Every structure is written in C-alpha cells, then in structure tokens.
Amino acid sequence: MNDKQKLFNSLVEAYQKPLYRYGYWLCGDGSIAEDLVQETFLRAWRALDSLHNTAAAKSWLVTILRRENARRFQRKAFEYSDVPMESLVDEGAGEVYSAELETMRIGIERLDEKYREPLLMQVLMGFTQEEISEQMEIPANTVATRLRRARLQLRDFLMADEDVVGGVK
C-alpha cells in the first residue's frame, strides 16, 4: 500500500462516522447522508494531492461534504415532508434510544439553519469557533453569537418541553 492509500484509509477511518452524522443532520435522511459521505470521499481521493496539511483534513472534508450537499439542490428539486428521523446513535454502541434524545433532536431541528449549522459543526464535528468561521465564511464574532443564541433557544425549548411533560403547563 502506498502513502496516498495509507493517508486516504486513515482519513476514512477517522472521519467516516462524524461526516455521516453531520451529513445526516444536514439532509435528514440516512441514505442521502451515506451518499454524501461516499461522494465526499470520492472527491477527496481525486484531490488528495491538494491536501498539503493533514491537520486541516477535517475542515477540508467538511467543506467537500457541504459542497456536495449544495450540489444536491442544484441537480434536483426535493419535496420536503416531516418524516421522523432515526436516532443518531452509532450502530452497535449499545445505547438505548430515549425520549430525551428525541426531544433534543426535535429542538435542534427547530433551530433556524443559521443557528443549527454552527451548533452541529461544533458539537458533532468538534470545530472551534474560528474553524466554523472559516467554513461558513462569516466573522468569528457572528459564529459566537449564533452559537450562544442556538444554545439559548435550545434551552428554552427543552425547558418548555420539560414543563409540558412534568404537567406544569
């Protein structure tokens, strides 16, 4: 196995699951998320020589995935429906799907995209505010504001849900 193949295999090993989770949150469909990840790695393989700094691989792959997701909308118009999404728990992880996870997922889905995307990039992909700023091409202060507002809105949603479940409302 040559160095290019070794590097590519290590990227797939390290980022396949996080890219899938991020893709899933972007599109809300497991099979489309799988396609996005597959296309991401296909494009990454073709352009692997352009990756000069392996420390930047995560950002590079997320950029490719985001562009692939945008290409979906250029190729075809989609009909949207409120089909329930499956749990984001890794297969075989042994974690039980819970009402709390479902409530959290619904709360995150209800966030405006400008708040949801940076939150997911931070939580699912582990990006810093600066990395999110670069990825989204917006100022770092804007990212900080959007992350704060996303957390506040999510907290408010969860508190309201807790009150309803607890019989307060």
Per-10-residue mean pLDDT, the chain, length 169? 91 94 86 93 92 89 88 56 42 50 81 89 86 90 94 87 51
- By the 8 A CB rule, do 115 and 143 touch? no
What is the spatial distance between Cα 42 and Cα 166, in angstroms, rounded to a whole number?
48
E strand or H helix that includes residue 27: helix 3-27
pLDDT given at position 161: 66
Q: What is the CATH number of the domain that holds 104?
A: 1.10.10.10
How many CB atoms sit inside 10 A of residue 149's CB?
Answer: 16
DSSP 138: S
Residues 73 and 128 in one domain: no
Task: Establish if 137 belongs to a structural domain.
Answer: yes
Domain boundary (82, 116, 148) is at 82
Q: Is 82 helix (H, G, I), strand (E, B) or coil?
A: coil
Same domain, 106 and 167: yes
Q: Please answer whether residues 48 and 8 qualify as being in contact, where contact means their C-beta atoms are separated by less than 8 angstroms.
A: yes
- Same domain assignment for residues 32 and 54: yes
Q: Are both 59 and 100 inside the same structural domain?
A: no
For residue 121, what are the domain limits?
Answer: 96-169
Q: Counting runs of H as helices and runs of E as strands, what totals does the chain give?
A: 7, 0
Distance CA 32, CA 98 (A): 24
Q: How far is CA 123 from the centre of its chain?
A: 8
Task: Look at residue 90 and tell me if it is in a domain.
Answer: no
Question: pTM score, two decimals?
Answer: 0.59
pLDDT at 160: 83
Q: Are residues 27 and 60 in the same domain?
A: yes
Residues 77 and 103 in one domain: no
